[in-house]
Chains A and B, each alone.
Chain A
Amino acid sequence: MKKVLEVNNLSVSFQTYGGEVQAVRDVNFELHEGETLAIVGESGSGKSVTVQSIMRLLSMPPAKFKSGSILMNDEDIVTMSEAQMEKVRGQEMGMIFQDPMTSLNPTMKIGRQITEGLIKHQGMSKKDALERGIELLRLVGIPNPESRIHQYPHEFSGGMRQRAMIAIALSCNPKILIADEPTTALDVTIQAQILELLRDLQQDMKTAIILITHDLGVVANAADRVAVMYGGKIVETGTVDEIFYAPKHPYTWGLLGSMPKLNDTKKELQSIPGTPPDLKDPPKGCPFAARCPYAMKVCDTYMPEYQHSSDTQKTACWLLDERAPKVNPPENIFVGGVKEHE
């Protein structure tokens, strides 16, 4: 599969009154054509900053690229000029946001919001763009697109707005779609519809999707691969199966343990005690050490290196070191309590 995006050693910081916040630290991942990569983690883990860096949507300052590169077609987004970025945004990458109530311009008709990108990137006439806009609205499942296109966002329901956002993001057939918690603000039934819509569109358009979420249910539904972020770092990455059935990192265990399971009525949901680290002064060692029930002395002082447990799965945890004591993941984290791998 063709690689469409490659993030290498990306570090992003924010300059604040209190000091430098190292929001993203040394992040690596790649994205292939037509696949969905889910980035999971709790609030403040750096997942939103990572994707906004890819789109270069962070205002700089206060944000700043500290190191690393973001390669797309062998070109580095980090060093691109603003004019080059304008061609990348919308054309090569589209983005949808968490809250469809605030991500559409309230004083502009939906039609104009869809056609703006088409007119700019594809040089369409207003009339052609409007026709294409109607087509796009129909594609994302909005009924009566001919009349809907002349309405304002407040005349749409939440789900409809997110559909319209998807239409806007996909209007120029981008290679990459970044979805920043696209279903968090929606009702559960609408969530499923939106995810299904994304999956259908992905199949038709071969778009690669980066899906940010803290909801593992969404991940299981929609993703091919998963990157688990904690404290500005990717602590574990692997295919969906590997993450759900053979997780290696205690943080991933914690996340899985805190996910409700349908056929498990007896056990309580587990929470991960503690709070994420202060990224103004990030720990030298593993960021999760302070909350990790299996922490060792080494965890506090040294950042673990990635250990590959398959071609696709790698984990940054000292437990995988041969000198470490053997620890098995708790039983209750697995779906239906079944453990498939060691």
Chain B
Amino acid sequence: MFKYILKRVGFIFISLFFIVTITFFLMQAAPGGPFTSERKVPPKIEEQLNEAYGLDEPLIIQYKDYLVNIVKWDFGPSFKQKGQSVNDIINRSFKYSLILGFEAIFLALSVGVFLGVLAALYHNKFGDYAAMIFAVLGISVPSFILAAVLQYTFAFKLGLFPIAKFDSFMHSILPAVALATTPLAFIARLMRASMLEVLNSDYIKTAKAKGLSSRVTIYRHGIRNAILPVVSYLGPLVTAILTGSFIIEKIFAIPGLGNEFVESITNRDYTVIMGTTVFFSILLLFSILIVDIIYGLIDPRIKITGSKGDQ
């Protein structure tokens, strides 16, 4: 177990190294990038930059310094936000994104699994059709359109929810719903397919043949097994929530990291773009590791050495 995690963490660091390298050289190539000579930045920041990156140094030295700084968890100063470092921006904004993200993940998982099970149990009946029509709509309506519609209807017109900002739980409901809907729909479809397969399996017949009630059979034997594919979707789910937050946070003016990232793109604030990209990558790689560990705990067939059991 310990050895497995160590190995995975090692792999994460290799991936991170690639990501940092690629982002560094991509930004290098960017028009008006931070490391090109044609930049026009205020002299004060110029000074900071020179200090932070040693911009007079050859490229390879700059690259080495950037790597060292990343290891020290120092993403450097922001270009456009005076006196702010990228670390400041992350520290200030990430908590909002985290709260919103967790709410959306919770919503997507609970409602998605529920709908999927419902659809499978009422296979080819009204409940199934209703849930699946909802799911295909959920997949087809982009989150930002849903966000706009929700904001217009429930905040502008009906006044049931605050329009923007992120000060209370009420503020978080509309953005969380907008963010969660597409992954929720995916989970519902995944859960339905997996549940249908499980319900047709022999061990469900065994459970029924024991005389267990259909409720016990479904809960104890069905859902526990059918949920495994949903657990492996948790990685993509985190990615979807994270990238979705870029736009949702912007629409609802939430001062989260996604919004900062979008701002930095609009302003071409390259150090912030780089810093947040690296930060997002670290976040995702570790979430995927955690998901894999959870999967190993749920499915006894997976030995946490990374190899599957005999089935």
Contacts and interface: CB of A to CB of B under 8 A. Distances in A.
- A, B in one complex: yes
Interface of A: 55, 57, 82, 85-91, 93-95, 97-99, 101-108, 113, 116-117, 120-121, 152, 154, 165, 168-169
Contact of B209 (A55, A107, A108): A55
B225 A106 contact: yes
A107 B299 contact: yes
B310 interface: yes
Identify whether the interface residues of B are mostly helix, strand, loop, or mixed: helix
Interface in B212-226: 212-214, 220-221, 224-225
A169 B207 CA distance: 10
Given A102-B202, A108-B221, A154-B310, A89 B301 contact: no
B210 A89 contact: yes
Interface residues on chain B, size class: 20 to 34
A97 B206 contact: yes
A152 B209 contact: no
21 contacts: A82-B214, A85-B211, A89-B211, A94-B209, A95-B206, A97-B206, A102-B201, A103-B206, A104-B203, A105-B206, A106-B203, A107-B224, A107-B225, A108-B221, A116-B207, A152-B300, A154-B310, A154-B311, A165-B206, A168-B210, A169-B209
B43 interface: no
B300 A107 contact: yes
Instruction: Pick from B210, B212, B300 the residue with the most CB of A within 10 Å.
Output: B210
Interface in B178-208: 201-203, 205-208
A154 B309 contact: yes
Contacts of A91: 211
Instruction: Pick from B207, B213, B214, B224 the residue with the most CB of A within 10 Å.
Output: B207
Given A107-B299, A107-B300, A154-B311, A102 B203 contact: yes
Instruction: Pick from B208, B211, B311 the residue with the most CB of A within 10 Å.
Output: B211
Contacts of A57: 205, 208-209
B239 to A, nearest CB: 26
A86 B213 contact: yes
B298 interface: yes
Nearest to A103: B202
Given A106-B203, A154-B310, A116 B301 contact: no
Given A86-B212, A89-B211, A165-B206, A101 B225 contact: no
A104 B221 CA distance: 10
